[in-house]
Structure 1
């Protein structure tokens, strides 16, 4: 499966350079500006929603989970705390290094978490649950659908995705430069049609179980959970 190489290269280079400095700070506890603080709050809301969904379905002990696009480990580390066995990957070597460092600092035992550098379309494995949060925004819809197809092929039970929904309001914000503010500080930001995401999941044998929406001033993320039929 081949995706737009240009987009992938841009994402990889961005998160190994200025993007890493920006986002590892947003996802941490350091001092940030008002916009970054809002994005930090919104992202944490998405993480909290996913953790709430997972825990509401029962004990996570021994559950094999893929965190595809793990960033600095904001979801992976709490999953391990809940007893899950986590395979955490990211296209950025710097992000993976930071995630591994945070896991070593926070977790008493890191035997049940494996961090590695990998892009979505080359991931391998067999997982009970696959989670991919705030990654699809970096890729156009055709490539996003291919990525979802691939993630579905690795998943036995459940997929959880989050993405920037395609709405008139967000399209306007994006056009005037407010969706991800700051010149030359982010990758291309792609919005996706919710129905397209749902249809792609259904074509892979999954049905929608839960949906959610995180909405702040500068952070918008549609969350979808689908389970295998």
Structure 2
């Protein structure tokens, strides 16, 4: 548990300091370097995949959605635009502040999404769908299992996760420093075996539905939709 606390503290400090400035640029539309642009494209592809899934079901306006680890609102804001009722949270106060400002620009005074500064473990409530994208990379599998279990307890019908898959190719890239390159890298990047994540979801009463893979030069994300049995 000490390792989990340490990882959480590192992530919180990072995204409230140098990490915030770096990732705000990546998630935005301003000028970035080639590596950051590649990561921006990959992250947006993951966001687009999840939005397409939710929209294709035809009932998005009827759903309550928890966006756990919302960052600057890249997913929360378009879901709110589409009519979903969204509760969004992030461990970083600066990220949440940026998300609120973006939501005001896009949505005006409509009080949706509802944003809060919280870590995954402290989230409460019940939601039709819980989404957690690009967060598990900050935590080792043993701690990720606990977090997934908690998120599963909040999801009445569905849990959607993304994670960096552990493959031989990506392990080699990570070891030679190409997985998350750049001088501002200060957090550990954990990969997860897909079989391990699926087993955790199954142990929490879910069955795998849709799956997808986002792969660019520097961004790799496996996306799983898990539906409650």
Whether these two folds match at TM > 0.5 is: yes
- For residues 92-140 of structure 1, the C-alpha deviation after alignment (integer angstroms, 9 at most, x for no partner) is 0000000000000111343231100000011111100000000000000
Hey, what's the Cα distance between the residues in 2 that align with 1:193 and 1:185? 23
Q: Which runs of 4+ in 1 moved over 2 A?
A: 183-186
For 1:23-102, what aligned pairs fall within 5 Å after superposition?
Answer: 23-102=23-102
8 Å contact kept, 2:208–2:227: yes
Stretches of structure 2 that go unaligned for 5 or more consecutive residues are: none
Q: Name the counterpart of 2:21.
A: 21
Q: SS state of the match for residue 211, structure 1?
A: strand
Hey, what's the Cα distance between the residues in 2 that align with 1:59 and 1:228? 17
Hey, what's the Cα distance between the residues in 1 that align with 2:216 and 2:68? 24
Hey, what's the Cα distance between the residues in 1 that align with 2:101 and 2:3? 30
Q: Name the counterpart of 2:221.
A: 221
Hey, what's the Cα distance between the residues in 2 that align with 1:212 and 1:171? 20
> How far 1:3 moved relative to its partner?
6.6
Hey, what's the Cα distance between the residues in 1 that align with 2:8 and 2:71? 15
> How far 1:40 moved relative to its partner?
0.3
Q: SS state of the match for residue 145, structure 2?
A: helix
Hey, what's the Cα distance between the residues in 1 that align with 2:70 and 2:145? 19
- For residues 64-89 of structure 1, the C-alpha deviation after alignment (integer angstroms, 9 at most, x for no partner) is 00000000000000000110000000
- Residues 1:2 and 1:226: Cα distance change in structure 2 (over 3 Å): farther
Q: Name the counterpart of 1:150.
A: 150
> How far 1:193 moved relative to its partner?
0.6
- Residues 1:146 and 1:71: Cα distance change in structure 2 (over 3 Å): same
Q: SS state of the match for residue 105, structure 1?
A: helix
> How far 1:185 moved relative to its partner?
2.2
- For residues 2-60 of structure 1, the C-alpha deviation after alignment (integer angstroms, 9 at most, x for no partner) is 87111000000000000000001100011000000000000000000000111111121
What's the C-alpha RMSD, in Å, of the aligned pairs?
Answer: 1.2
Q: Name the counterpart of 2:6.
A: 6
TM-score, normalised with respect to structure 2: 0.97
Q: Name the counterpart of 1:113.
A: 113
Hey, what's the Cα distance between the residues in 2 that align with 1:57 and 1:161? 18
8 Å contact kept, 2:18–2:184: no
Q: SS state of the match for residue 128, structure 2?
A: strand
8 Å contact kept, 1:180–1:186: no
Stretches of structure 1 that go unaligned for 5 or more consecutive residues are: none
